Amino acid sequence: MAEEARALPAIDERSVPFFEAAERGVLALQRCEACRAFLHPVRGRCSACGDTRLTWVESAGRGRVWSHGKLRRSYQPEHEGKLPIPLVWVELDERVRIASRLAASEPGAVRTGDRVAVVFERLADGTPVPVFRRES
């Protein structure tokens, strides 16, 4: 596996549906069948009610920048020549937060409250990862 894939959680039995959806360009989230809460990252039980009946659903992939910063120093080779990298915490419309970054093609500064939508970029090993672009 490529060096940059270390930043991702291991692809295991529980996370396979997330990566299968990503291959189709879809952001998938777990949802608790008991309390209907959305979950991220992948879990074995609901963080809201503790139930273990979790299903996978397609997210709209849209939300607002909840917080942001910039990666200015890294010891990972895949970041060479790309610093600073704009990082974002996005609160999806499903009311769950996801840590990511802006898409490589996104120019300019990001602001808290900016509307964003998910797109997928591929790591060197071909693994699709969700990143965000500003909505017009």
The pLDDT tens digits of the residues spanning 11-58 come to 888 899 999 999 999 999 999 999 999 999 999 999 999 999 999 999
pLDDT band at 104 (very low <50, low <70, confident <90, very high): confident
- Give Cα 9 distance to the centre of its chain: 11
Contact 88, 101 (CB under 8 A): yes
pLDDT at 64: 98
The CA angle 56-39-131, to the nearest 5 degrees, is 85
% of the chain exceeding 70 in pLDDT: 93
Please identify which residue in the block is written with the tokens 């959806």: 21
Closest by CA to 116, choosing from 7, 19, 52, 97, is: 97
Q: What is the pTM of this model?
A: 0.85
**What is the set of domains in the chain, with CATH numbers?**
9-59 (no CATH), 61-136 (2.40.50)
Supply φ then ψ for residue 77, to 5 degrees.
Answer: -60, -30
